[in-house]
Amino acid sequence: MRIEVVLDVKTTLGEGPLWDVTQERLYWIDSFDGRVFRSTMDGRELRAWDVTQKIGSMAIRKDGEGAIVSLQRGFHTLDFKTGDVELIHDPEPDAPANRLNDGKVDRRGRFIAGSMDTKEEGPNGGLYRLDPDFSVTKIDSGIICSNGPCFSPDDLTLYFNDTWSGQIWAYDYDIETGSIANRRTFAKVDTSRGGAADGSTVDAEGFLWNALVYDGRLVRYAPDGSVDRIVDMPVKKVTSVMFGGPELDILYVTSMSKPPLPRFPDDGQLRGSLFAIHGLGVRGVEEPRFGS
């Protein structure tokens, strides 16, 4: 196993690595600075877009010419050619202290994304489904900090976590309708070192990888929720993970250079870097695009 720095871009709150298999390009975001980044697998041809608001996550659209972005004030489209950002829908117009956060696309082209309380204190957030026709449905509520949505390879399970709950949840997922049921604890997170569950992805074997933010570790959970493997990272504030590269065998890891709230710790020189882990012996699954 080898961990290397792809780019030391010092993202204030790096998040959401996303490998697009068609373009063979890696995307990631800076949540606090409101930017979308794109590069080759090894960090060349760097490009960035300013989306004007804090951003929680993104999804490439079917045509590859743009993205869906979950911004502080709702779901928007981003045109890669012009840089234009246009509102689709704000699901929480009466919750100014909230913002949309982490999200992923299912294999029918729906975007599942949650919201969060910006102070990370109150259960004021929800979980939403944006369908290809741009309709929005609220599918869960009572969430403090939405993170880590991802789907099992058989499409039967949606994984998700409220970061400060100390748990990763699993829902029964209906791929035909996009509905969820039977929320339950998939895994209890080891918070003894001050860490909490952040972004997640699922590999081709159906194991879930989660970034333990503030703890500097990545955890691979077996389908039964047991801990299969732990990877120690060179920084504490790791935020999210995604497999990429032509063979989908490189695990990309984002991190933050500055904690969002004063109570969170600082970090080392490589804080805010984008990392790549080689030699894990595991492959990921193709990330779907948004749309029908």
**pLDDT value of position 267:** 83
Model confidence pLDDT, tens digit, residues 203-239: 999 999 999 999 999 999 999 999 999 999 999 999 9
Average pLDDT over residues 137-163: 97
* Cα end-to-end distance, the chain, whole Å: 38
How are strands ordered across the β-sheet holding 146-151?
146-151, 157-162, 167-174, 179-188
Structural domains in the chain?
2-278 (2.120.10.30)
58-73 confidence digits (pLDDT tens): 999 999 999 999 999 9
One of 198, 203, 215, 267 is an active-site residue; which one? 198
79 flagged as catalytic: no
Return phi, psi of residue 109, to 5°: 85, 15
User: 123: Cβ–Cβ under 8 A, 6 or more apart, which residues?
Assistant: 117, 142, 143, 144, 162
Percent of the chain with pLDDT over 70: 99
pLDDT score at 259? 77
Instruction: Tell me whether residue 131 is annotated as binding.
Output: no
Q: What is the mean pLDDT of residues 243-270?
A: 88
Is 147 annotated as belonging to a binding site? yes
Q: Which residues contact 224 (CB under 8 A, 6 or more apart)?
A: none
Q: 99 a known binding residue?
A: yes
pLDDT at 292: 85
Residue 61 assigned to a binding site: no
